[in-house]
Amino acid sequence: MAKKVVIDENNYYDSVTLMSISKDIKGMEGITEAVVVMATPHNKELLENVGLLTDEADNASPKDMVIAVEADSDDLAEEALAGVEEALEAKASGGGDDEYRPRTLDSALDAMPGANLAVISVPGDYAKKEAEKALNKGLHVMLFSDNVPVEEEIELKELAAEKGLLLMGPDCGTAVINNKPLAFSNVVSEGNIGLVAASGTGAQEVSTIIDKSGLGVSQVIGTGGRDLSTEVGGMEMLKGLKALAADDSTEVIVLVSKPPADEVVKKILAEVDKIEKPVVVNFLGGNEDLFEGSKAIYSSNLEEAALRAVALSEGNDYEAKDFTIPEEVAKIVEEETAKYSDDQKYLRGLYTGGTLCDESMLILADELDALYSNIPLKPEWALEDNAKSQENTALDLGEDEFTKGRPHPMIEPYTRVERVEVEAEDEEMAILLADVVLGYGSHEDPAGELAESIKDAKAKAEERGGHLTTIVSVCGTDNDPQDLAEQTAKLEEVGAIVMPSNAQAARLAAKIVQEIN
């Protein structure tokens, strides 16, 4: 076994670029570990965990790059190092082209007169400074960076409010401004439904269901996940709500969040009551009683919020339906349950989108005695070990315990691929439930990667004389770079049942589990 650690001083690359290089090198023959990172304290910890933190690396600064590899032989390690150099050179000459890259915000503004939005995704320690500079120059800000302390978030939001500018974030992954998708967003048709969302995948699910229904969105304003906390008090959601109320292109408004504190709910609903336009609200898993006497239109899940907005936009009454294809569902349940072995009785949900996992769990929990998870709905449903599922289990694979030192599973699906392999060995699993999230930012072929592992898992179940039902929903549109129709076809080819929404996928899974028992 050979280890090589090289420091490349004063050579900064962003984390997404370096992660993708690490992954390519790790995939080379004879390479057991490859870590290419900037020498931040967090990354040093990561290097230590894999036994590749040398004294030199430990003394390096966050402006220095560390290239660390472990290989079967010295030659292979050298080859890997050369591979990293090559990838970096290709990045510098190919991706960088000859475009001018200003080093200060002033020169950026000189180069682009009339710039109106800054998208900021620098490491959290530097995020406030950059956001402040942008706001002071009169730019609206989308702040993707996370690990920004809540006190800094409040300061930034106060500054933005003073200047009348948007401050979407921190930790804001999804926004669609003037029909242009930013960061992790889908290519959604233009329409008259405006969203303000504190949850990225929540906004993606609602906006894509609207698109699948033949309508579109005016704006999707992200707030960052902590906006509706007691400390921040919903500053950005209130601002977004008022802006959409005054926007002529918006006729219906949808608010999406995990349940805020009661006093924040009251504050938001009080603002809703001042607005003439209909406002549909989904505080996923929130308390419906707080809506009593409010003009806000309560929705229990993301799909309902989207479909209520669609009905309002079209001037129709909303009609609650468990399934848009009820006859097919009855047939699927009958066919699938006939094929299981006696041992098969549990479902396993493997999610890349946190809010989609939440939505499913809320639907499933109504029908199941217990639903174990790494983000459990009840404390007693916490998994003893997140690496091992118990009975019926749903996992948010985007949580810290699964993403330490790895890209988010929406960007690189291998965390889920590995977990499907583990679950496939469990003879008690009957149903595999999963989400596929398309759009910019996401992996280029998430359905293709999932389809491969579904194929193997199904084969394993059949070898044991059973059958594995796989139920998937694809959050995306036909105009997304991955193409909804193509992605759906890849899943159906391997026998996955593709449902029109995450909520319907969960309901179908619940129905089958009930039928088994």
Partner 1 sequence: MEEKILELFGKKLKVINIGLESFAESLKEEGVDVIQMDWEPPAGGDAELASLLDSLMD
**Of 304 and 480, CB closest to partner 1:** 480
**Of 202 and 407, CB closest to partner 1:** 407
All residues at 6 or more sequence positions from 451 whose CB lies less than 8 Å from its CB, including other chains? 490, 491, 493, 494, 496
Choose the stretch contacting partner 1; rule: CB under 8 A; options: 96-104, 263-271, 357-365, 426-434.
96-104
C-alpha distance from residue 509 to each of 253, 261, 284 (Å): 31, 31, 20
Residue 53 CA to residue 374 CA, distance in Å, equals 30
**Of 247 and 391, CB closest to partner 1:** 247
Pick one of 52, 166, 329, 332: the residue that binds partner 1 (CB under 8 A): 166
The structure tokens 């290419």 sit at 36
Pick one of 66, 67, 70, 145: the residue that binds partner 1 (CB under 8 A): 145
All residues at 6 or more sequence positions from 291 whose CB lies less than 8 Å from its CB, including other chains? 269, 281, 298
Q: How far is the CB of 402 from partner 1 (least distance, A)?
A: 21
| Binding-site string for partner 1 from residue 239 to residue 278, where x marks contact by CB under 8 A and - marks none | x--xx--xx-x-----------------------------
Q: How far is the CB of 77 from partner 1 (least distance, A)?
A: 27
The helix (H) or strand (E) run that includes residue 74 is helix 74-90
Interacting positions 274-313 with partner 1 (CB under 8 A): none
Interacting positions 465-494 with partner 1 (CB under 8 A): 481
The 3-state DSSP class for residue 364 equals helix
Interacting positions 107-136 with partner 1 (CB under 8 A): 108-109, 111-112, 114-123, 125-126, 129-130, 134
Residue 302 CA to residue 183 CA, distance in Å, equals 21
Q: How far is the CB of 162 from partner 1 (least distance, A)?
A: 10
**Dihedral sign, CA of 265, 268, 273, 279?**
negative
Q: Three-state SS across 390-431? A: CCCEEEECCCHHHHCCCCCCCCCCHHHHHHHHHHHCCCCEEE
Residue 16, Cβ neighbours under 10 Å: how many?
A: 12
Do the Cβ atoms of 192 and 169 come closer than 8 Å?
no
Q: CA torsion angle for 343, 329, 256, 489 (degrees, to 10)? A: 90
Q: How far is the CB of 137 from partner 1 (least distance, A)?
A: 9
By the rule CB under 8 A, 149 interacts with partner 1: no
**Of 113 and 379, CB closest to partner 1:** 113
Burial 394-411 (b: 16+ CB within 10 A, else e): bbbbbbeebeeebbbbbb
**Of 69 and 160, CB closest to partner 1:** 160
Give how many residues touch partner 1 by CB under 8 A. 64
CA 441 to chain centre: 9
Q: How far is the CB of 96 from partner 1 (least distance, A)?
A: 8
Q: Three-state SS across 188-223? A: CCEEEEEEEECCHHHHHHHHHHHHHCCCCEEEEEEC
**Of 125 and 155, CB closest to partner 1:** 125
Q: How far is the CB of 275 from partner 1 (least distance, A)?
A: 12
| Binding-site string for partner 1 from residue 50 to residue 89, where x marks contact by CB under 8 A and - marks none | -----------xxx--------------------------
Interacting positions 384-443 with partner 1 (CB under 8 A): 440-441
Here the tokens at position 265 are 């709910």
Pick one of 140, 416, 460, 507: the residue that binds partner 1 (CB under 8 A): 140
CA 262 to chain centre: 26
Q: How far is the CB of 333 from partner 1 (least distance, A)?
A: 40
Residue 249 CA to residue 113 CA, distance in Å, equals 26
Q: How far is the CB of 267 from partner 1 (least distance, A)?
A: 16
Choose the stretch contacting partner 1; rule: CB under 8 A; options: 172-180, 198-206, 380-388, 423-431.
172-180
How many residues are recorded in the chain? 517
- What is the number of alpha carbons within 13 Å of residue 292 lying toward its C-beta? 3
Helices (H) and strands (E) in the chain, counts: 18, 19
Q: CA torsion angle for 163, 206, 212, 447 (degrees, to 10)? A: 110
The 3-state DSSP class for residue 355 equals helix
**Of 38 and 203, CB closest to partner 1:** 38
Q: How far is the CB of 296 from partner 1 (least distance, A)?
A: 20
Q: How far is the CB of 408 from partner 1 (least distance, A)?
A: 12
| Binding-site string for partner 1 from residue 207 to residue 246, where x marks contact by CB under 8 A and - marks none | -----------xx-------------------x--xx--x
Here the tokens at position 422 are 């583990």
**Of 73 and 178, CB closest to partner 1:** 178
Here the tokens at position 474 are 């694809």
Choose the stretch contacting partner 1; rule: CB under 8 A; options: 181-189, 379-387, 398-406, 424-432.
181-189
Residue 295 CA to residue 319 CA, distance in Å, equals 19
Chain residues that interact with partner 1, rule: CB under 8 A: 10, 12, 14-17, 38, 40, 61-63, 95, 99-103, 105, 108-109, 111-112, 114-123, 125-126, 129-130, 134, 138-140, 144-145, 163-166, 177-178, 180-183, 187, 218-219, 239, 242-243, 246-247, 249, 440-441, 481
